[in-house]
Amino acid sequence: MSQPIKNAYLQFQADPSTTHEIYDEESNTPLLFELFPNPNPYTFGTLQIQMNETSQITNPLFILFSIDRSQSMDDICPTDHKTKMDHAKHTTKKMLEILLKKTYHYPPQTIYVQLVVFDDETTEIIPKTLLDSTTITQINTSIDSIEPQNSTNLELALTKSREIMEKEELLAENENENEKNKSKSYMKTEIFLTDGNATSGIKNVRRLTELSLYSPPREDNDEHIYIGYGDDHNANLLQTLAQSRNNASYYFLDQIENSNLLFGEILHGILYPALKNTTINTNNCEIYDYKTNTWSNTLKVGPLLSESFKTYHVRTTTPQEQITATICAEQITATICAEQITGTICTEKITTQDTPFIYQVEVLPDPTQQDLTKYMFRQKVQEYLYLSKHISNYIDESSKQMIIIPKEERKRQNDRINAVKNDMKLFMKYLKCYMKTNYLEHDKFHQTLYEDLYISYKTFATLKGAMYSGARQHSQGRQTSYIISTPQENQDHLYNINVPTSQRSRTPSPDNSPISYRHLSENTTPTQRRIISEMTSFPTRSRTPSPPLAPSDMTQQDFEPLTELDKIIFNKITTKSPPREEI
């Protein structure tokens, strides 16, 4: 079995107090940045993990699709004139098409799929079915039959999904007890997709989250993926659902036509987990949890994928003491434990089929003399993303429940919001000057940080803030491939702070693929790009070759009709309709 971890190491900032001194070009006054408030007892550091390229898993898979088919899924996407449901059906079929190819490999992979749709009730469109060449046609026919209708009952949808996943868990446990060879675990994934809020049934976020959890409460090691389709979904609910589980993710698909990028990343995560149920434990230092905006000695990070490179933030008050870190996970068929002692990580495999495993990681010459300025910036951005999402969720829930906030409390909240926004504005200014001074205006890492901060600022304490800041918080915290776009504003950017022009759109796509990669981060691995390329967009409905482009100097006179009848038709088509009167 291949070694999943290529290397892993701790390192700490050389100067723990501050970063480079930057001056405001307009006023020539110094701009300050401090990650930790004074007096500062902390030394900032990072724990970085580089994963090896590992082969695709061969474990039996069960994938449950739970798809919203309420009437709003019939909305048209302006860029390609397809409906939300068109995209949902297309990406689902493309995922199954790619998965079907995996069943042809040797050894063949066993894959079961099940599809449930929901509106004001739930319907099983595809019962649990073995995916193979004999069933794919009927599966696609069933998917094509889905039509949007009625309202949305998330209570029934979440309950149905939980019941199905619990049933599969019991079946897997019984099969493992009956089989002698237990080396291949049964891996289960739930993909839950919705585009709106609950209009019937339970609507309270806490109650919906509780009824979605396994009963009786137990360790949930299944993969759960919650996708908000469009900017009208309940971001607070989906984020809470994801945060309540060990291996769960929240995605916001802001531009439906980019669903192939998002579903390509999801499919890669299903097929190429190098480690799963990963937990990092630290001693004499704390590690940051972006979900809760807290520091502790334990962090659950979920799966670590093939070829991925992850950076986690740590801090310590005793850099001179022995600092240790332990990475505990499952290598799909085995349990891995990695322990760092004074810069060296030794990984031991708790044996499966009596296969011992030991791994030595490089030791940094001096782990306390590193310039980690960019990661200090990233830490600050993550903290602002959390604040923006948290406050926006509170405002959203208060408005839905029509909570009347007392005048004094409202004033206190407004003062707090204004103070945080002012701090964000100053940090944006510092980051912008830092990027310009150090010629980093086109550096992808710093660009993404600035875009994250800009979105957090623009959506702070707004009804859309939960989904935009929450999605950016997720992509930054989990270091994912897909990232949402910046919300378009009709007004000038406040305070003349402009988002740097991103270079991601200029990155050529592999194999001359028509896919735009501007929504993919620098965390995207080569294998991820290959799978995303397979998740192509809609095929052309006509096989007729496209006509040549018209010359740039062509005028309307070139289209003048040849006959009187043609002239009548031409004038009728080209005549502009009078504007409608405002009501």
Identify which of 366-380, 509-523, 552-566 has the greatest average pLDDT.
Answer: 366-380
Q: What is the pLDDT of residues 249-282, one digit of tens each?
A: 999 988 887 888 899 999 999 999 988 888 898 8
**287 close to 47: Cβ distance less than 8 angstroms:** yes
- Of 524 and 175, more confident: 524
Instruction: Tell me how far apart the terminal alpha carbons of the chain are, to the nearest angstrom.
Output: 71
**412 close to 404: Cβ distance less than 8 angstroms:** no
pLDDT at 176: 61
pTM to 2 decimal places = 0.81
- What average pLDDT does this structure show over 141-163? 95
pLDDT at 217: 65
What's the one-letter identity of residue 393? N
Inform me whether the pLDDT recorded for 169 exceeds 80: yes
Please tell me the least confidently modeled range out of 232-241, 331-340, 544-553: 544-553
State the DSSP H helix or E strand holding residue 411, giving kind and residue range, or none if neither: helix 407-437
What's the one-letter identity of residue 449? L
Confidence band, pLDDT 50/70/90 cuts, at residue 383:
very high
**CA 24 to centroid of chain Cα atoms:** 35
pLDDT at 251: 93
- What average pLDDT does this structure show over 530-545? 61
What is the 8-class DSSP label of residue 329? Answer: E
Superfamily of 61-271 according to CATH: von Willebrand factor, type A domain (3.40.50.410)
CA–CA distance, 533 with 544 (Å, rounded to integer): 24
> What percent of the chain lies above the pLDDT cut of 90?
40
Q: What is the pLDDT of residues 300-330, one digit of tens each?
A: 988 999 999 999 999 989 887 878 888 888 8
- Of 344 and 97, more confident: 97
Inform me whether the pLDDT recorded for 384 exceeds 90: yes
Contacts for 537 with CB less than 8 Å, ≥ 6 apart: 80, 257, 260, 514, 515
- What average pLDDT does this structure show over 530-547? 58
State the DSSP H helix or E strand holding residue 252, giving kind and residue range, or none if neither: strand 248-253
Inform me whether the pLDDT recorded for 333 exceeds 70: no
Confidence band, pLDDT 50/70/90 cuts, at residue 466:
confident
Name the residue ranges covered by the structural domains of the chain.
5-55+276-360, 61-271, 373-507
CA–CA distance, 521 with 409 (Å, rounded to integer): 40
Torsion, CA 198, CA 87, CA 489, CA 453, rounded to 10 = 80
CA–CA distance, 342 with 26 (Å, rounded to integer): 47
CA–CA distance, 380 with 35 (Å, rounded to integer): 7
pLDDT at 547: 38
Per-chain mean pLDDT for the chain: 79
pLDDT at 148: 95
- What average pLDDT does this structure show over 90-97? 93
**7 close to 327: Cβ distance less than 8 angstroms:** no
Confidence band, pLDDT 50/70/90 cuts, at residue 15:
low
pLDDT at 354: 28
Confidence band, pLDDT 50/70/90 cuts, at residue 290:
very high
pLDDT at 242: 93
**CA 166 to centroid of chain Cα atoms:** 25
- What average pLDDT does this structure show over 53-76? 92
Q: Which of 157, 129, 149 lies closest to 141 in space, CA to CA?
A: 129
pLDDT at 26: 73
| Half-sphere exposure at residue 47, Cβ-oriented, CA atoms within 13 angstroms | 30
The Cβ of residue 464 has, within 10 Å, a number of other Cβ atoms equal to 16
pLDDT at 50: 93
The β-bridge partners of 495 are: none
> What percent of the chain lies above the pLDDT cut of 70?
74
